[in-house]
């Protein structure tokens, strides 16, 4: 792709500085603020809530051991209506363990009680806080208070995932879920518009991999079977098992996992000890890297695997079927952010790593996969216009990463896959921008007619804001200034009224 770029921002600070009142430092109070200052003009078509989830440990954090993927979930939201910003709220998600830490009654759990700290979606009339690795989903009110565990009306036991995909044509949620105590398989599920699972399919995989995201096309599901696996020894160290017995205990436990049902109280205890501790997954170089193509209505034995060069993919930008002139699907195209390795020796998270936007073409005729580089500049949090999920898309967006630290910086990029143009834009020196979601100006608006929306931290002033950018030009449309700090988190979404 050809590239245009504005002035780059300064590199992000190291973790110790970012925790000292900086962009990764957890906040310890819940706020409700209705007097919000706005610069620019909030478009009238925005009627709903921008909501974002992320780890926010309750209580003190040790910078020496803090891993920014871990911690109690906290949801931050801004309500927009009639050209106004009506409120900002932040609330901890009351999972079993976080409720106990706050001195409140713990809700019943239907899965491993890990913190619901990764994303927020809207489905079947409910606002849902989600996490992966078999953790329970939690329903929230419109004001972000926790209602309780959401179990898909009893049709989907064993927890859910952090990256479901909504097919807007059918109103169904497609997801790939995994659990450390179910090695050798992941679960593909389809949840109908009422919130009930109509399909649950086991798909065989190697070992016990982390599967953060997935791909969805008109006819297929793309399964990521990649070399990050559950690390039993690391998990034991995190929960305080004495070093001298970790080796024997690991050998015994590894023979039991997947064969002996895990006691619910034991699972909750382990999750409690891991709540603000180490990441119990690590790089597994012996694990092959492959992408599976599963027909939407197929069973696990119908998956076709495509070997790719060793790498890891946290996030898929998009996927679609490549169709020939006779209407036959010849290949599946997958765009995503590629890591050469990750969780290899990461004390606090995937720091100092080089990423690139890559495209994989999975040829259904030859059975071969090819990998090409779309952009070699470090980036993360890729998004498209979600109305085009599963279809060919023209535009994509992502957040820049500082090349020397791997932390997010103040750059954003807009891709035009039709012209091959990549436009990089900086929001300013020492500015850090999180994931941006595209919101169209109307149901029939053009693909880039709307705004990009997300939280922004100004490292120079310490101020935080909700930023609205013109998706076509990347210029600011409006800023909702927040009088409190919003620590960096994971995924946000626009939840329309």
What DSSP line would sit under 69-106, residue for residue? T-S-EEEEEEEEETTEEEEEEEEE---HHHHHHTTSPP
Give the count of alpha carbons within 13 A of 337, CB side only.
Answer: 22
CA distance 187 to 185: 7
Query: How many CB atoms sit inside 10 A of residue 440's CB?
Result: 19
Domains, the chain, with CATH or none: 2-496 (2.130.10.10)
Digit-coded pLDDT (tens) for 262-318: 444 444 444 444 444 567 788 999 999 999 999 999 999 999 999 999 999 999 999
Least confident of 40-44, 86-90, 136-140, 406-410: 406-410
Between residues 219 and 263, the one the model is more confident about: 219
For residues 484-488, give the mean pLDDT.
93
* 55, β-bridge pairs: 73
For residues 373-398, give the mean pLDDT.
97
| Backbone CA torsion sign across 460, 465, 469, 475 | negative
The pLDDT of residue 173 is 98
The pLDDT of residue 97 is 80
pTM of the complete model beyond 0.95: no
The conformation of residue 324, written as its DSSP 8-state character, comes to: -
Between residues 113 and 259, the one the model is more confident about: 113
The SS3 of residue 211 is: coil
CA distance 264 to 112: 7
Digit-coded pLDDT (tens) for 452-472: 999 999 988 889 999 999 999
- Is it the case that residue 417 has pLDDT exceeding 50? yes
CA distance 92 to 399: 25
By the 8 A CB rule, do 412 and 474 touch? yes
- Is it the case that residue 144 has pLDDT exceeding 90? yes
By the 8 A CB rule, do 365 and 304 touch? no
Q: Residue 249: CB partners within 8 Å, gap ≥ 6?
A: 236, 241
The values of phi and psi at residue 244, to 5°, are: -70, -20
* β-pairing verdict for 37-40 and 476-482: antiparallel
Digit-coded pLDDT (tens) for 22-37: 678 899 999 999 999 9
Least confident of 23-27, 105-109, 250-254: 250-254
By the 8 A CB rule, do 135 and 112 touch? yes
Strands (DSSP E) along 205-289, which ranges?
A: 215-216, 220-225, 228-230, 281-283
Query: How many CB atoms sit inside 10 A of residue 168's CB?
Result: 12
């Amino acid at each position: 792709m050809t590239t245009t770029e504005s002035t780059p921002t300064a590199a992000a600070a190291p973790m110790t500085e970012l925790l000292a009142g900086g962009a990764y430092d957890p906040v310890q109070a819940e706020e409700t603020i209705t007097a919000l200052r706005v610069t620019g003009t909030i478009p009238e078509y925005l009627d709903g809530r921008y909501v974002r989830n992320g780890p926010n440990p309750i209580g003190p954090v040790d910078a020496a051991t803090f891993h920014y993927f871990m911690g109690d979930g906290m949801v931050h939201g801004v309500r927009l209506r009639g050209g106004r910003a009506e409120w900002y709220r932040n609330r901890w998600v009351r999972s079993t363990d976080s409720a106990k830490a706050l001195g409140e009654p713990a809700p019943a759990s239907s899965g491993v009680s890990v913190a619901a700290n990764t994303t927020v979606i809207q489905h079947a009339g409910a606002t849902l806080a989600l996490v992966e690795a078999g953790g329970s989903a939690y329903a929230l009110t419109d004001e972000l208070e926790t209602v309780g565990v959401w179990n898909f009306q009893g049709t989907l036991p064993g927890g859910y995932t952090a990256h479901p995909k909504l097919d807007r044509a059918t109103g169904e949620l497609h997801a790939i879920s995994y659990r450390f105590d179910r090695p050798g398989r992941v679960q593909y599920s389809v949840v109908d518009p009422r919130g009930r699972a109509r399909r649950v399919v086991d798909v065989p995989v190697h070992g016990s991999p982390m599967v953060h995201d997935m791909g969805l096309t008109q006819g297929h599901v793309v399964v990521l079977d990649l070399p990050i696996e559950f690390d039993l020894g690391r998990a034991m160290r995190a929960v305080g098992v004495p070093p001298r017995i970790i080796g024997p205990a690991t050998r015994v436990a590894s023979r039991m996992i997947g064969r002996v049902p895990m006691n619910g109280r034991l699972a909750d205890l382990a999750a409690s000890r891991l709540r603000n501790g180490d990441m119990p997954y690590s790089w597994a170089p012996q694990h092959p890297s492959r992408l599976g193509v599963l027909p939407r209505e197929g069973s696990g034995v119908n998956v076709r695997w495509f070997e790719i060069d060793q790498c890891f993919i946290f996030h898929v930008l998009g996927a679609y079927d490549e169709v020939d002139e006779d209407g036959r699907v010849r290949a599946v195209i997958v765009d995503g952010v590629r890591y050469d390795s990750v969780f290899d020796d990461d004390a606090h998270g995937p720091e100092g790593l080089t990423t690139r936007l890559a495209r994989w073409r999975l040829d259904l005729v030859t059975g071969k996969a090819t990998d090409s580089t779309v952009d070699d500049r470090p980036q993360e949090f890729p998004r498209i216009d979600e109305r085009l999920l599963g279809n060919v898309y023209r535009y994509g967006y992502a957040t820049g990463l500082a090349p020397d630290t791997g932390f997010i910086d103040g750059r954003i990029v807009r891709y035009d896959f039709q012209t091959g143009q990549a436009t990089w834009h900086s929001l300013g020196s020492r500015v850090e921008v999180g994931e941006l979601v595209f919101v169209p100006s109307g149901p029939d608006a053009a693909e880039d007619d709307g705004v990009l929306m997300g939280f922004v931290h100004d490292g120079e002033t310490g101020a935080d804001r909700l930023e609205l950018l013109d998706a076509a030009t990347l210029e600011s449309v409006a800023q909702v200034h927040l009088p409190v700090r919003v620590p960096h988190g994971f995924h946000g979404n626009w939840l329309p009224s």
